[in-house]
Every structure is written in structure tokens, then in C-alpha cells.
A and B are shown apart, each in its own frame.
Chain A
């Protein structure tokens, strides 16, 4: 697998708190990477640094061989780095299609003006939902939707552009068993299309079912980085709690 992105010696301080301590990490093309760790271990900070929400205090981020410096999530998105947030970051008062296109609406000409292309966005969103095999209807309000449909809306957002990395923050935390299977199937579909997926999760079975590699964080440091086939849920649990120092 070809190298897609490389984090080198990333440090992130919030005042006196060192949230990320000298983290280096390779991300390969078409790879599903499981990112595990206890609350406050630095998973979210790491993901937000890759996604451009945070600027690292020191260290470098190479993406497709080029050093990157993002001043915001829009920069990262332009390079093809997409995030599905834990709380899904969805506006309940807007339609599914409006949420999918939020921040990059399709426009059409109306005389001298450029206006929102409601029809175009609805049909493109409908296509995306069909690809995801979701029954979400583009013109429905999100506040009437189930957890799985909301998930589909959040994931459809990342499929709008030619994304290379999709960061998923606890996508299976608050949904039913059947919907978990749907989301995992979806992650495999993204991998098949050559996308790299970084899956942050507390759920050991999900990580061992869908990931190729697992990275464990503890108190801001990377304490393990190994192939799933060479690890075990017991070992990962030990690494997360600190019973095993590193592997």
C-alpha cells in the first residue's frame, strides 16, 4: 500500500496541557486505520489536527509528499481530507440535502444572479443516498430522521468531493446493532474505492471487524501501531488502560 500521509513528531499544547506528545503516524492509501484510546487520550485532538481544526504546536504533516499547514477545516477539505464528527455536526432544521451540501452549495444561474440549485442538490443527494443504500429522502428535515439516516447524511457529506481520507469520530457510538452493521459495510465500501479511513472508536468488535491496522493512544502518546492480524482485543485493552505499556 502506498503512503498517503505522514505525521512527524506532532506536539499540541493547550496552555500547560500537552494533548499530543511527539506523535508520528503513517496513513496508507486504501487502509482502514483504527484509532483507540481512553477519554482524553488525545484521539480527538489528533483527528482535529489532521482535519485542520487545530494547528500543531510543533511537528509536520506531509500529505501526498507535500508539507501541509491548514488554517482551518476548509483548507483540509480542499486537499481531500473529510471528517464525520461524533455529534454528526448536522443542522436539524435543514433538509438532508441542505446538510449534505452545507458550505459548498450547488448554484445555478437565474438571469444575472447565482441562486441555490435546490433541484440539483436534491437529485445529487438522492444519488449519494442510493450509493450508500440508505433510504434517506433528500427533501426531508433531518429532525425527523433515525440515527442511521442521520449517519448517512453525515457520511454523504464526505462523498461530495474527491476525498482521500475520511476521519470518522465514533460513528457507531449511538446507533442500533443493525445500523452498526450498515456503517461498517459503508466503511468497507469506502475502502474498496481506495479511500483511507481513520476510525475512532471505543467499540473493540467494530475495530477488529473492519480495520487493517490499529493505533492506540494513551495520555497524548502513541503507545502501539500494529496490524490487526498481529494484535488481539486483550492486548489493545491492556494498551488503552496502561496495563501494557507499549507494543
Chain B
């Protein structure tokens, strides 16, 4: 077959391959966010030598990982034009499940499996209600945000779990431990990043997510199982939240029923800064992760520069606005 576009692995389904690489790089939100991180880092390094130490950078990276893994989960949901604001509560449910199971002295594998299943279950419930009852995702996940937090309180009866029986050592080693000099959660993020990028660019599932976000009726007409794909996107989000819960519990060494409260805003902010549009149809694996890193760098930079922490929200909010404006400008240039 004679083709004007030779077959290759790196054909990006979202961009015409006719543009030169530097143009495509300038067009990508991820590149702009990376640049912002770099510039911010340089400025803070000049203000304080404490920023660019390996200890601090590792700390930033570790903190960013928790939000970044959840942002990876949020990305397919936002690509289909949905939203999941219940991720903080799902995190609470998964952490409590893990806490209760480990407290009952079950093997760590069972505890982790239980937490992962709880995450998938919560996501599936969200997705099923949204897909089959055709209700707006914002309202449905607002409801499950409330329900999830309340159930976490009921299950724990407002007590804190810090006794994990036979698994105490292993859960803390998973969440707080290092492998080859890097926190374990970093590897979880990297694996998640690669897997999601593969799913989005190389599989039918990924292709159908974009199709649903671009034109849902057209996707239905093409015979795509839209409802099932939608449910799977929310289930995937739930699963990634559960993965985060396992590492977060190990890192904190305790399960409180308030764990994860307010995380949904950081997660959504990360995906939006990374270039996903809330109207659906766009988004990338790298975008959510790098967005989370920017948010964490901003927080850390302000702290180190000695700025009153009350200013953090203002800065993060400004970056959200800047990211959305940048997205708008880029879509006008297209």
C-alpha cells in the first residue's frame, strides 16, 4: 500500500502530522506547563537555596504523585465530557476499607484488593447512574461525594485507624518506602502514566473515549457501546483513587475519616491545567500528571519563598485561569 503518511507508532490521533515538530510542541499544553514549572523553579532557586535540594524536590514530587495518580484517573472521565467530583470521598471510602480490613488482621494482599475493589465499585456506581439514568455527572458525583463521606464516618464510627496488625510494616513500607532512591509512589505514577497513555492512543477504548467526548450521538450511531465505555471511565477513575489510597495510607501511617477531603478540586485543577477541556474531547495522560506537579511546585515554592500560605489558593486559582485562557488561545490558532 502506498501511503502519504508512513505507518509509525507516534501518529498522534489528536493532531495533524503535517505540522513540524516544533510547531506541535508549541501547540501542546503540556510543554507550556513544563516551561512554567521550570521558570517557577528557577525563580525560587534564586530566592532561596532550599528549593533545589534533592530532599525538597523529592518531597515535592512525592506530594504531587498522590494528586497526579488521581488526575490520571480523572482524565478519561473528562475526555468523555464528564466530571467526577466524588474522588475525595472515594479516597475516604477506599482508605477506610483498607483500614478496617488491616485492623481485622487480614493479609495485606486482601486489604489492598479490598480497597481496589471498593474504588472500582464506587466508580461503577457513579458511572452506572450517569449512563443509565442520563443524569448530569456533576450532580450525581456531588451526591456520591456526600454519601461517600457520610458512609466513611458511619463505618469508622469517627475513630482513627493506626493499628494494622500483621500488615503494619508492609503497608508503611509500600506507602513510605523507597526503591532505588525514589519513593514507591513515583513508580506507581510512572506505570499509570505509561498504561494510560497506551490506552488513550493505541486502543479502541481510548479512541471511543475521545469519540464520545467529541460527539456522543455520532459515537452511538457508529455502534460504540457508549454507556459501557462511560461506566468504565468512572470505574477507572475509582480504581486510580484506590491506588492512591493504598499509598497515601502507607505514607500517613493512619486512616482518618477526613482523608481525601477537598482533593477533588486539586485533581480537577491538575487535569484542567494539563490541557483537558471540561467540554470533553481533549486530554492526555501526561497533561494531568504534569498539571499536578505544577500545582505542587507552586505550593512548595510559595512556602519556601516565605510567602504567607494564605496566598496559595490565589496562586493556584490564577494558574487555572491562565491554563484555560491558554487553551482558548491555542484552539483559536488551530
* Cβ–Cβ contact A98 & B222, under 8 A: no
- Give the distance to chain A from B154, nearest Cβ to Cβ, in Å: 42
* Cβ–Cβ contact A72 & B18, under 8 A: no
Q: B54 at the A/B interface (Cβ < 8 Å)?
A: no
Tally the A-B contacts, defined by beta carbons under 8 Å.
118
Q: Which residues of B contact A123 (CB under 8 A)?
A: 1-5, 7
| Size bin of chain B's contact surface | 35 or more
Q: How far is the CA of A127 from the CA of B214 in the complex (A)?
A: 25
Q: B8 at the A/B interface (Cβ < 8 Å)?
A: yes
Q: B210 at the A/B interface (Cβ < 8 Å)?
A: yes
Indicate with 1 or 0, residue by residue over B1-43, a CB within 8 angstroms of chain A CB atoms.
1111111110101111110000000000000000000000000
- Give the distance to chain A from B191, nearest Cβ to Cβ, in Å: 16
Q: A43 at the A/B interface (Cβ < 8 Å)?
A: no
- Give the distance to chain B from A128, nearest Cβ to Cβ, in Å: 12
* Cβ–Cβ contact B18 & A137, under 8 A: yes
Partner of B16, one of A103, A118, A137: A137
Partner of B215, one of A90, A95, A115, A144: A90
Q: How far is the CA of A140 from the CA of B113 in the complex (A)?
A: 43
* Cβ–Cβ contact A141 & B5, under 8 A: no
Q: Considering the complex, which residues of chain B in the window 209-226 have a beta carbon less than 8 Å from any beta carbon of chain A?
A: 210-211, 213-215, 217-219, 221-224
Q: A147 at the A/B interface (Cβ < 8 Å)?
A: no
Q: Considering the complex, which residues of chain B in the window 252-303 have a beta carbon less than 8 Å from any beta carbon of chain A?
A: 281-282
Partner of A77, one of B11, B213, B215, B223: B223
Q: A186 at the A/B interface (Cβ < 8 Å)?
A: no
Q: Which residues of A contact B3 (CB under 8 A)?
A: 119, 122-123, 126
- Give the distance to chain B from A207, nearest Cβ to Cβ, in Å: 24
* Cβ–Cβ contact B5 & A126, under 8 A: yes
Indicate with 1 or 0, residue by residue over A67-81, a CB within 8 angstroms of chain B CB atoms.
000001110010000
- By beta carbon, the residue of chain B nearest A78 is B223
* Cβ–Cβ contact B203 & A74, under 8 A: no
* Given A89-B218, A119-B6, A123-B5, residue A139 in contact with residue B17 (CB < 8 A): yes
* Given A118-B7, A139-B5, A139-B17, residue A89 in contact with residue B217 (CB < 8 A): yes
Indicate with 1 or 0, residue by residue over A109-147, a CB within 8 angstroms of chain B CB atoms.
010000111111011101100000000011111011000
Q: Which residues of B contact A138 (CB under 8 A)?
A: 4-5
- By beta carbon, the residue of chain A nearest B331 is A143
Q: Which residues of B contact A85 (CB under 8 A)?
A: 218, 221
Q: A244 at the A/B interface (Cβ < 8 Å)?
A: no
Q: Which residues of A contact B203 (CB under 8 A)?
A: 115-116
Q: A94 at the A/B interface (Cβ < 8 Å)?
A: yes
Partner of A91, one of B1, B4, B8, B211: B211
Q: Which residues of A contact B18 (CB under 8 A)?
A: 137, 139-140
- By beta carbon, the residue of chain B nearest A107 is B204
Q: How far is the CA of A126 from the CA of B222 in the complex (A)?
A: 20
* Cβ–Cβ contact B222 & A89, under 8 A: yes
Q: Considering the complex, which residues of chain A in the window 82-98 have a beta carbon less than 8 Å from any beta carbon of chain B?
A: 83, 85, 87, 89-95, 98
* Cβ–Cβ contact B215 & A92, under 8 A: yes
Q: How far is the CA of A227 from the CA of B5 in the complex (A)?
A: 46
* Cβ–Cβ contact B210 & A94, under 8 A: yes
Q: A3 at the A/B interface (Cβ < 8 Å)?
A: no
* Cβ–Cβ contact A119 & B214, under 8 A: no
Known pairs A91-B214, A144-B334 / 10 extra A-B pairs, C-beta < 8 Å: A85-B218, A91-B281, A92-B215, A93-B210, A94-B13, A116-B207, A122-B11, A123-B7, A138-B4, A144-B16
